[in-house]
Amino acid sequence: MNPVLQTILRTMVWGSVGLFVSGVQAQGFPHKPVKIVVPWPAGGVVDLAARQLANRLQTVWSQPVVVENKVGAGGAIGAEQVARATPDGYTLLVTSSALTMNAALDPQKSTETSKELERVALLCHAPGVLIVHPSGAANLKELIANARANPGKLSYATSGTGSPAHFATELFKMQQNIFALHIPYTGAPAAMTDQIAGRIDFQITNATVALPQITAGRVRALAVTSTSRMPLLPDVPTLMESGVANYNADQWIGLFTTRGTPANITEKLSQEVNKILTQDAFRQALAKSGINTAVPGSPIEFDKFYKQDIVKWTRVVKAANIKPE
């Protein structure tokens, strides 16, 4: 037989075998427990979404789906664990837009981790709320006017330099051309404590943290960071409604796996998640904490969204001159 023809036939055979094996892998997936790494503390907004997802995947697959909280370095430690895992779909990552913010803040350090993570599905969006002390500004226009009249005299709290709250506030400041003093805390609870005490002028924090304090009257909500009003805060306008054009700083939460995972396993994961996103019970469970379920989409669509988010936050990092700690 012609050597060239032999090579072509051999390539076709092994290609067919590869496709067959890959197909069998996807059909039998999962045949053992799956682990979801959450690089944030238990009880937080990302953990809540991950556990709701894990419970439903476990029911569908009839296999244990274990959530492991691997906290540290702004979500980087958990993300790196999944990036280094065996690419077989059995180690997953549920994390937030902190991943793209870290990539914008420290590209050299974060790029490799980002490259080693396969985008699977966008799960949900967690709106932030801009809050003040009850004795503070009555509305967002008043807060902005005060900040412009007194540059550098107003202070704002965040859960740390480079945190989603920090980025969201810097985007607000950049778009409104105002200057306020950044007071970074070691976490959202400490920042909220000083907000309630009136030692901080304002802050943007996630709705899960803010809602109990707003309901109790300890803080006042001036605006939400999403493009539409929150059902749990129907009387609180969005920042866009309050005059901040094109503002959107929701914290997104998504599902990732290790780069190199067979494409049909990634696709199977995506399809299962998309089914869950349409379930009323899942949507309602997240809505109780002010979290909005994402529109079902493909891994390609999530990857495009992810890359656009890095571009968005890179502009904020440069404009605000934010430096990694």
Q: What is the pTM of this model?
A: 0.84
4 part of a folded domain: no
In this structure, the answer to whether residues 255 and 119 fall within a common structural domain is yes
For 201, the domain range is: 128-224
19 part of a folded domain: no
- The predicted pLDDT at position 2 comes to 59
257 part of a folded domain: yes
Residue whose tokens read 């937030």:
96
Last residue of a domain, one of 179, 205, 224: 224
97 part of a folded domain: yes
- The predicted pLDDT at position 163 comes to 86
- Which segments in the chain show pLDDT lower than 70? 1-26, 109-112
What is the 3-class SS of the chain, one letter each residue? CCHHHHHHHHHHHHHHHHHHHHHHHHHCCCCCCEEEEECCCCCCHHHHHHHHHHHHHHHHHCCCEEEEECCCHHHHHHHHHHHCCCCCCCEEEEEECHHHHHHHHCHHHHHHHHHCEEEEEEEEEECEEEEECCCCCCCHHHHHHHHHHCCCCCEEEECCCCCHHHHHHHHHHHHHCCCCEEEECCCHHHHHHHHHHCCCCEEEEEHHHHHHHHHCCCCEEEEECCCCCCCCCCCCCECCCCCCCCCCCCEEEEEEEECCCCHHHHHHHHHHHHHHHCCHHHHHHHHCCCCEECCCCCHHHHHHHHHHHHHHHHHHHHHHCCCCC
98 part of a folded domain: yes
d(CA 230, CA 236) in angstroms, rounded, equals 8
60 part of a folded domain: yes
> What confidence tens digit (pLDDT) does each residue in 276-313 have?
999 999 999 999 988 999 999 999 999 999 999 999 99
In this structure, the answer to whether residues 118 and 264 fall within a common structural domain is yes
- The predicted pLDDT at position 162 comes to 84
Last residue of a domain, one of 205, 224, 243: 224
84 part of a folded domain: yes
- The predicted pLDDT at position 317 comes to 94
Looking up residue 167, the CATH number of its domain turns out to be: 3.40.190.10
In this structure, the answer to whether residues 302 and 219 fall within a common structural domain is no
In this structure, the answer to whether residues 157 and 213 fall within a common structural domain is yes
Total number of domains constituting the chain: 2
99 part of a folded domain: yes
- The predicted pLDDT at position 284 comes to 96
- The predicted pLDDT at position 111 comes to 64
- The predicted pLDDT at position 107 comes to 84
Looking up residue 119, the CATH number of its domain turns out to be: 3.40.190.150
